[in-house]
Each structure stands twice: as C-alpha cells, then as structure tokens.
Homo-oligomer: A and B are copies of this chain.
Amino acid sequence: MSGLAIYRTPIAQEWIDYNGHVRDAYYGLIASLAVDTLMDRLGMDARYRKESGCTLYTVEMHTHFLREIGVNDSVEVQLRILDADKIRIHAMLELVCDGRTETSATCEVMLLHVRQIPTVRTAPFPEPIAAAIADLRRATASMPASGPGSRRMELVPR
C-alpha cells in the first residue's frame, strides 16, 4: 500500500490500443478521474465549484508507465499528498492492478486552485478545504513510494 485508496475503475475497451494494452493517455485519464474523487473528498465538489466559481487546474503531470494494463484488469488508485500551500496541491497517484503487488504506473501532479470568474486567477483554498488538505497530507505524505517520481528525462546508457 503506497497511498490512500481513493478510486477504482475497470478498464474500458476503448482504452485499449493497437499494442493490446491501455494506451498511455488513458493511464492519465484514470489518474484524472481519481483527482475528481479527491476533489469531492476535500470539499471541492460540483456544488462548491458552482457556488464559489473555484476549481482545480492541473498544471503539471509526470507519468511513469511501469507495467502494461490489460482489458481484464481493474485498477485501484492510491494517493499521497506530498506537499501543499495556500493555492497548490502536490500529489502522487499510483495505479495498482487488482491481484498484483507491483505498481503499474506512478502519476505525479501539481494542482492549482483557481477562481474562473470573471477571469481565471489563482485563489487561496478556503479554510475548511485547507484543513482537509492538511489532514490528508498528514495521513499520507510519509507512506512509502512504490515507483519513481517526476524528474528531468534524459537518455542514459542502458
């Protein structure tokens, strides 16, 4: 267990590509849907978004594709809040297939709280949401990583 389980999904047939496995971008979709669940959990649900005009924007995402995911797999997303400040959440999402111990992918994201109206601008988290983020960070930040995080890509001899 390398994070709090926050989302589960089976694999949709249309996520499979000509290589016979889940296309790279759909790993990102699974992580993105898990972030929606995270928003609900932290109080940034549809009602909050509508009433406040605020939401989260993803500003950066780094995915390591560690193992293939097939059409018969079911994926659990495990979350760690690595860091946070008044406007940002830095989180790690790990995709783990049922029945396997190894992580299939790690997906690190930087999320930014913005108010969309009248124009998109960063906005500080309201106090109850900031407290919920802090709680979740305390509960998850020190859970062990099961795969690599973001880094500068480069070709090194192998």
User: Footprint of B on A, CB under 8 Å?
Assistant: 18-20, 23-26, 28-29, 31-32, 46, 49, 55, 57-65, 68, 83-85, 87-88, 90, 108, 110, 116, 120, 149-155, 157-158
From B25, B62, B90, give the contact of A31 (CB < 8 A).
B25
Tell me how far the C-beta of A90 lies from the nearest C-beta in chain B, rounded to whole angstroms: 5
CA–CA, A28 and B49, complex, Å: 25
Copies of this subunit: 2
Q: Give the chain B neighbours of A157 by CB distance below 8 A.
A: 85
Q: Main SS of the interface on chain A?
A: mixed
From B26, B64, B88, give the contact of A155 (CB < 8 A).
B88
Establish whether residues A64 and B68, one from each chain, have CB atoms under 8 Å apart when the complex forms: no
Establish whether residues A153 and B64, one from each chain, have CB atoms under 8 Å apart when the complex forms: no
Q: Give the chain B neighbours of A152 by CB distance below 8 A.
A: 149-152
Establish whether residues A154 and B25, one from each chain, have CB atoms under 8 Å apart when the complex forms: no
Establish whether residues B65 and A60, one from each chain, have CB atoms under 8 Å apart when the complex forms: yes
Q: Give the chain B neighbours of A18 by CB distance below 8 A.
A: 46, 49, 55
Establish whether residues B19 and A116, one from each chain, have CB atoms under 8 Å apart when the complex forms: yes
Establish whether residues B59 and A108, one from each chain, have CB atoms under 8 Å apart when the complex forms: no
CA–CA, A29 and B23, complex, Å: 9
